[in-house]
Amino acid sequence: MPFNRAFLTGAELHYLETALASGTLEGDGPFTARASALLNKMLGAVATLLATSCSHALDMSALVLDLQPGDEVILPSYTFPSTANAYALRGAVPVFVDCRPDTINLDERLVEAAVTDRTRAIVAVHYAGVGCDMDALAGIAERHGLRLIEDNAHGLGATYRGKPLGSFGSLATQSFHSTKNAHCGEGGALVINDPDLVLQAEIIREKGTNRTQYYRGEIDRYHWVDLGSSYLPSELLAAFLTAQLENFDVIQAGRMRVWNAYHDRLAEWAADNGVAQPVVPVDRVHPAHLYFLVLPDPAASAGFRRHLADLGVQATSHYQPLHNAPAGLRFGRTAPGGCPTTERVARQLTRLPLYTGLSDDQVDRIVAAVTSYRVAR
């Protein structure tokens, strides 16, 4: 059983054929409009700009907020390198804060101590699509005049207190990499919730030109007006993504079934073996992006993955901490107190296979493989 298998809804080929037949293959055609409209509706966003990846959407967020060398951006150490790269590329300093032991999210109780007079933004990464404490983070951002950004790569379809993840930050980013719930192989989006940032984001995405305004007929010619690059995906990718987003319910139902089966059927084994299952606070709805288990110590964790591999189950660890990674040490700074929980979780967390299309029989075999492992005491 592989860890992930990219799911196809069945509509992708038809939409790809439609895009090919239209002859319009560059970006910002009808499928881009369709996918963006679907995302706006799901997220309640002012605008959603499709991008070539979540990494590029994060890069765009640093440009949109005009981050300068020496500015500081608070983010979790337990995340994908792109979350930090985006700001380091502008010369800004990622300031790494530890995660909570329960949700594995940025520990909001540690954020305020990391704020300095150089701090410009806080990036919330919703690990496994379980929302960060957005009320607490929004309060800190408000008190210190900081921008809130959401790296919502995991969180499409999730909510915090009834509101979609991706709708809290001035900006949020989505990933449509093939390991994410909805995908187009490689892709992403910049979600804009602050109307004042739309024009600037459009310029950055269109090579630093106001071409998007020109296409809308708002101006006669377009010019190079600011820094930017080419962040818009081809219509072929937008067509593929449209098929996925239109069938998002099917994708989600399949993932949720597997997640719930693991959660229920592993509970007793987890309790008996000192293993932590995911924690979803009652005011949050998660999107079944990941199913992970945190083993009680590094040796048990390594033994667990070997045991599963021997039984044909591909289970994997996840992020390596950024704060003590070579580039983290070079470009970032660690908040006071360090990131001990991040270091522990990185060594002890294992993710199980989770995708739409995993059969009941396969889930049975994975549950049997997991529960046949005994943690040595």
Ligand X SMILES: *Cc1c(COP(=O)(O)O)cnc(C)c1O
Q: 170: which DSSP letter? A: S
Q: Which of residues 324-343 bind ligand X (CB under 6 A)?
A: none
- Under 8 Å between Cβ of 58 and 83: yes
C-alpha 47/C-alpha 176 separation (Å) is 17
In this complex, which beta carbon is closest to ligand X, that of residue 154 or of residue 284? 154
In one letter, which amino acid is 101?
Answer: P
C-alpha 367/C-alpha 362 separation (Å) is 9
Whole-Å CA distances, 212 to 27, 201, 219, 345: 11, 10, 10, 44
In this complex, which beta carbon is closest to ligand X, that of residue 104 or of residue 275? 104
Confirm whether 180 is a catalytic residue: yes
Nearby residues of 164 by Cβ (< 8 Å), 6 or more positions away: 42, 43, 44, 157, 158
In this complex, which beta carbon is closest to ligand X, that of residue 53 or of residue 170? 53
Q: 232: which DSSP letter? A: P
- Residue 273 interacts with ligand X (CB under 6 A): yes or no: no
- Residue 181 interacts with ligand X (CB under 6 A): yes or no: no
Least Å distance, CB 369 to ligand X, is: 25
Contacting residue, 153, 172, 197, 258, with ligand X by CB under 6 A: 153
Stretch that binds ligand X, among 151-159, 198-206, 244-252, 268-276 (CB under 6 A): 151-159
Contacting residue, 48, 55, 242, 342, with ligand X by CB under 6 A: 55
In this complex, which beta carbon is closest to ligand X, that of residue 79 or of residue 119? 79
Helices (H), the chain: 12-22, 30-43, 54-64, 81-88, 108-111, 134-144, 198-205, 211-215, 235-246, 248-265, 267-273, 298-310, 326-331, 340-348, 360-371
Q: Which of residues 63-82 bind ligand X (CB under 6 A)?
A: 79-80, 82
- Residue 53 interacts with ligand X (CB under 6 A): yes or no: yes
- Residue 54 interacts with ligand X (CB under 6 A): yes or no: yes
Least Å distance, CB 214 to ligand X, is: 28
Q: How many residues bind ligand X (CB under 6 A)?
A: 14
- Under 8 Å between Cβ of 123 and 83: yes
- Residue 188 interacts with ligand X (CB under 6 A): yes or no: yes
Nearby residues of 30 by Cβ (< 8 Å), 6 or more positions away: 22, 24, 235
In this complex, which beta carbon is closest to ligand X, that of residue 29 or of residue 188? 188
Question: Exactly one of 41, 163, 180, 207 is catalytic; which is it?
Answer: 180
- Residue 50 interacts with ligand X (CB under 6 A): yes or no: no
List residues binding ligand X (CB under 6 A): 53-55, 79-80, 82-83, 125, 151, 153-154, 175, 177, 188
Active centre residues (catalytic): 180
